[in-house]
Structure 1
Amino acid sequence: MQSNFGISRRRLIQAAGASALVAAAGLPSRLFAAEPIKVAAVFTVPVEQQWVSRIHKAANAAKDRGEIEYVYSENTANNDYERVMREYCEAGHKLILGEVFGVEDAARAVARDYPDVAFLMGSSFKPDPDLPNFSVFDNYIQDASYLSGLVAGALTKSKNIGMVGGYPIPEVNRLMNAFMAGVKEVAPDTRFQVAFIGSWFDPPKAKETAFAQIDGGADLLYAERFGVSDAAKEKKVLAIGNVIDTQADYPDTVAASALWHFEPTLDKAIAEVKAGTFKADDYGVYSFMKNGGCSLAPLGTFEGKVPGEIKAKIAEKEKAIKDGSFTVAVDDSEPKSS
């Protein structure tokens, strides 16, 4: 006859083993408090820059929830990027975030040297199965950009729209092309002035480029870069925002914005790191609207200025995008003036 002590002891051992398995799988356990993972980010621009600000926002949200410890470096020069990455790895960080568009080879070399660290990097390239700890992401917010184009097509009177971008790379091109497709659906005879300033953060140059487009007849500007909305405000024309919502700063200027939500991307990576299942993958899909990765900002001060039929069309298209019955094309080709 088995003693109560033996049964209790065996059950305790079984329970402890089960709990260990749960913890190893990265699943919630009432017996073991999950330690926050150490996350570091390396940015080449200030954290207030549109694109990086969304990564920073999502990381701070995860930090506030107690899921991660978070530190970051901003304004990191390309020739210093690898050193900063290595220092974070040596300091015990388990997930490194960043944007490696200009330092792709160096970043992947660091990942090879630290196979126990997970890397989630903004990149134009695909993951490499031979580098299992290096995943890529991108701002695939073409869905929201297309919807913002519907607004722009309804509001432009001159049918002449200026577009100011940083560089003609896929992550910029696809958003511009989606925006233009939305405009043309409402106002097919619209002309576009397309320019790239050769910088990710040069508001004065973006502003001067926008002034030139306004002089060329544009009555609405696509503000892919900071500085464009300032020009629009000064010249009393309209603007469409990108990645972040700046309407509070430009209530009479910014009619709509395509917003990027990095939370689904980062939350997925955190879960994989905790579960020990992080692998080389393309996280771009988590920026799609159907996955909560992007949205059209509320029309706010322009709620009464956008025609009712356009708002109805936006609602219809948004529903179709989310249920998969309508797909916004991912066109990475360089947009041209027309």
Structure 2
Amino acid sequence: MTNRIRRTLITSSLALAAAAMLPLSVIAADKIKVAAIYTVPVEQQWVSRIHKALNAAQSRGEIEYVFSENVTNADYERVMRQYAEQGKGLIVGEAFAVEAAARKVARDYPKTAFLLGSSGKPQAPNFSVFDNYIQEPAYLTGMIAAGMSKSGQIGMVGGYPIPEVNRLMHAFMDGAREINPKVKFTVSFIGSWFDPPKAKEAAFAMIDKGADVMYAERFGVSDAAKERGVLAIGNVIDTQPQYPDTVVASALWNMEPTIDTALKMVKAGTFKAEDYGKYSTMKFGGSEMAKLGTFESKVPAELVAKVKAKEKAILDGSFTVKVNDTEPKSN
């Protein structure tokens, strides 16, 4: 045996020995296999933020990402089991209407990591939960809304009066009252997560009664505002590029901190049942108020200063936006 061959064998043996001492997650170069299950189209506001964060991770080469959209509640459990059987390392979705079924699947696949939107608590050992705790920027946009309203009447159109929607509406209303304690709200729910025509009609009715700023919790509201020449406030995503003369500001939800933390845990083999809700707050970069953009020079400087001061207070902890999950009412 030549010295060259001997050196190669020794080097290979040492490398194998060293590798044997490394955790599996370090040795494996395989990407994390991630599946997401959505009950609505991926362009819907809430779901689009999860989809965006997962696509970003896929673009970085960290994951292999597949998803199913428009999955009915009745079919949700089957799709979850199918992905779990395929060996996905992380399954993401929304369990709000299928809590019992989703938690049952998680119990049946304890080695699979589950991260689902839920109003409930984590379930050991592998069912983690998250939620859109973006009430902080919602409060800031409420301040903007009241400051921009001339009639003192604001219309609010939501999907369903569930905690995830209620808390944002209440925060928005509290922010508006800080600027104008006498502001009036008209609140309506359309009974759907994705029905732009219905949301548009509900908005028209409010505008016809005097609302000159609309809170667009659902798609369709900003269309009505644009057609009637009033202003709108966005929710979850920034739609100002589509409505440059209508959408003044938006409360943005950034899912990257939540998704990236979960992926880090899965990769390290340390994923466990936890509440990821805090990663949706401004402190962790999980939410923010969108730039004023086309309205930069249209919003009064005094109002902007008040909003910036409140934002600073939220970030330094001297002001806490109240979380109120009860159904908001018109006044």
Q: What is the TM-score with the length of structure 2 in the denominator?
A: 0.94
State yes or no: 1:80 paired with 2:75. yes
Aligned to 2:273: 280
State yes or no: 1:60 paired with 2:55. yes
Write out per-residue CA displacement over residues 211-251 of structure 1, whole angstroms, 9 at most, x where no aligned residue: 11111210110000000001101111100000000111111
* Matching residue's letter, 1:123: S
- Which of the numbers 172, 185, 192 marks the counterpart of 2:185? 192
Aligned to 2:195: 202
State yes or no: 1:331 paired with 2:328. no
Q: Secondary structure, in 3 states, of the residue corresponding to 1:59?
A: helix
Aligned to 2:212: 219
Aligned to 1:121: 116
Aligned to 2:3: none
Alpha-carbon spacing, 1:18–1:258, altered in 2? closer, same or farther (3 Å): farther
- Which of the numbers 154, 162, 170 marks the counterpart of 1:169? 162
Q: What is the TM-score with the length of structure 1 in the denominator?
A: 0.92
Kindly report which structure 2 residues correspond to 1:228-267, keeping only aligned pairs within 5 A, or say none.
228-267=221-260
1-structure distance, mates of 2:45, 2:90: 22
Shift of 1:34: 3.4
Q: Secondary structure, in 3 states, of the residue corresponding to 2:251?
A: strand
Aligned to 1:92: 87
Aligned to 2:308: 315
- Which of the numbers 176, 180, 196 marks the counterpart of 1:183? 176
Q: Secondary structure, in 3 states, of the residue corresponding to 1:89?
A: helix
2-structure distance, mates of 1:193, 1:132: 44
State yes or no: 1:155 paired with 2:148. yes
Q: Secondary structure, in 3 states, of the residue corresponding to 2:245?
A: coil
* Matching residue's letter, 1:156: S
Shift of 1:18: 6.3
Q: Any stretches of 5+ residues in structure 2 without a counterpart?
A: 1-5
Alpha-carbon spacing, 1:36–1:183, altered in 2? closer, same or farther (3 Å): same
Alpha-carbon spacing, 1:288–1:325, altered in 2? closer, same or farther (3 Å): same
* Matching residue's letter, 1:118: A
Write out per-residue CA displacement over residues 286-332 of structure 1, whole angstroms, 9 at most, x where no aligned residue: 00000000010010111111111121122222222222222111111
Write out per-residue CA displacement over residues 150-204 of structure 1, whole angstroms, 9 at most, x where no aligned residue: 1111100100000000011110001001101110101111000011111100111
Aligned to 1:269: 262
Q: Secondary structure, in 3 states, of the residue corresponding to 2:211?
A: coil
State yes or no: 1:37 paired with 2:32. yes
2-structure distance, mates of 1:20, 1:189: 69
1-structure distance, mates of 2:256, 2:44: 17
Aligned to 1:49: 44
Give the CA RMSD over aligned residues: 1.9
Q: Secondary structure, in 3 states, of the residue corresponding to 2:202?
A: helix
2-structure distance, mates of 1:19, 1:275: 16
Shift of 1:16: 6.1
* Matching residue's letter, 1:149: G
In terms of mean alpha carbon deviation, does 317-326 or 191-200 score higher? 317-326
* Matching residue's letter, 2:54: A
* Matching residue's letter, 2:229: K
Q: Secondary structure, in 3 states, of the residue corresponding to 2:23?
A: helix
State yes or no: 1:108 paired with 2:103. yes
**Alignment length (residue pairs):** 325
Write out per-residue CA displacement over residues 20-69 of structure 1, whole angstroms, 9 at most, x where no aligned residue: 55534x5xx5xx46321000000000000000000000000000011110
